[in-house]
C-alpha cells in the first residue's frame, strides 16, 4: 500500500464526522428565492431550472401530500396574488369535502371493492355478489381506461357505453347492461360522497333499448 496516499478527512479526530451543509445551504443550491405567504401556509419558490418563473408549494395535511404548481409569472407581486387565489380556492374545495388529488379509475375501483369487502364481512352482501361487481367494474375500467383520472372523464362519455359493450360482446343481454349501469351509477354515487369526483362528473348514459343493442 502506498503510505504517501492521503485519506479523505484524515485531519479530523477519530470519531468525528466531516461537516455537512445545513438544510438551508442545500436548499439554496436548488432554489434561487423563497417567500412565505398566507401566514406561512404557502411558499413561493424559484428554481434554477424554472428560469425565474415563480412556483407555489403547500402541504395538504388531509391528503398527506404537497401541492406544487407553476404560477407562470416572473413578477413577484403577480405571483403573490396568484398564489393566494390558488391557495384559497384549494381550501374551499377541501372545506366542501372535495379531494385535491384526483385518482384513477383503477384506484377508485380498488377503494370501492374494499368497501364492498367490508359489506361482505358485515353480512350485508355475499362474496358472490362482490365477485359479480368485480366483473362489472372490469368492463367499466376497460371502457374508460385503467389509468384514466376520474376528473377527466366527462359525463357524456358514457353515452357510448352500450355501443362499446355491444362491440365487445355482440350477444350481451339487456339485463346484463342494466345491472352494469346500476353498478356504475353506484360507484359514482359513492365516489361523490367520498369527495373523489364532483357533481358535474356523474355519468349520463343513453336510453337503453333492445333496438340499439342488437
Residue-wise pLDDT tens digits, 149-163? 998 899 899 999 999
The CA dihedral of 112, 117, 119, 121, to the nearest 10 degrees, is -160
> Helix, strand, coil proportions of the chain in percent (round to 5)?
50, 15, 40
Q: Which candidate, 48, 41, 88, 83, places its Cα nearest to that of 66?
A: 41
Give the pLDDT band of residue 12 (cuts 50, 70, 90): very low
Percent pLDDT > 70 in the chain is 81
Q: For the chain, how big is the Rg over CA atoms in Å?
A: 27
Return the minimum-mean-pLDDT range out of 55-69, 117-131, 187-201: 55-69
Domain ranges of the chain: 31-96, 105-201
Give the pLDDT band of residue 36 (cuts 50, 70, 90): very high
Amino acid at each position: 500500500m502506498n503510505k504517501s496516499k492521503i485519506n479523505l478527512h484524515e485531519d479530523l479526530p477519530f470519531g468525528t464526522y466531516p461537516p455537512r451543509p445545513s438544510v438551508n445551504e442545500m436548499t439554496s443550491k436548488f432554489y434561487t428565492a423563497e417567500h412565505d405567504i398566507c401566514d406561512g401556509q404557502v411558499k413561493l419558490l424559484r428554481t434554477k431550472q424554472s428560469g425565474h418563473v415563480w412556483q407555489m408549494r403547500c402541504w395538504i395535511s388531509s391528503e398527506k401530500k404537497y401541492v406544487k404548481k407553476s404560477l407562470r409569472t416572473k413578477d413577484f407581486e403577480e405571483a403573490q396574488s396568484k398564489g393566494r387565489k390558488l391557495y384559497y380556492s384549494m381550501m374551499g374545495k377541501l372545506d366542501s369535502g372535495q379531494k385535491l388529488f384526483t385518482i384513477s379509475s383503477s384506484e377508485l375501483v380498488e377503494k370501492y371493492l374494499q368497501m364492498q369487502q367490508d359489506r361482505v364481512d358485515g353480512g350485508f352482501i355475499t362474496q358472490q355478489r362482490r365477485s359479480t361487481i368485480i366483473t362489472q367494474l372490469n368492463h367499466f375500467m376497460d371502457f374508460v381506461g385503467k389509468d384514466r383520472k376520474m376528473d377527466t372523464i366527462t359525463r357524456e362519455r358514457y353515452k357510448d357505453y352500450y355501443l362499446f359493450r355491444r362491440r365487445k360482446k355482440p350477444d350481451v343481454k339487456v339485463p346484463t347492461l342494466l345491472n352494469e349501469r346500476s353498478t356504475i351509477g353506484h360507484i359514482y354515487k359513492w365516489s361523490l360522497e367520498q369527495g373523489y369526483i364532483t357533481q358535474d362528473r356523474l355519468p349520463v348514459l343513453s336510453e337503453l333499448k333492445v333496438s340499439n343493442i342488437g
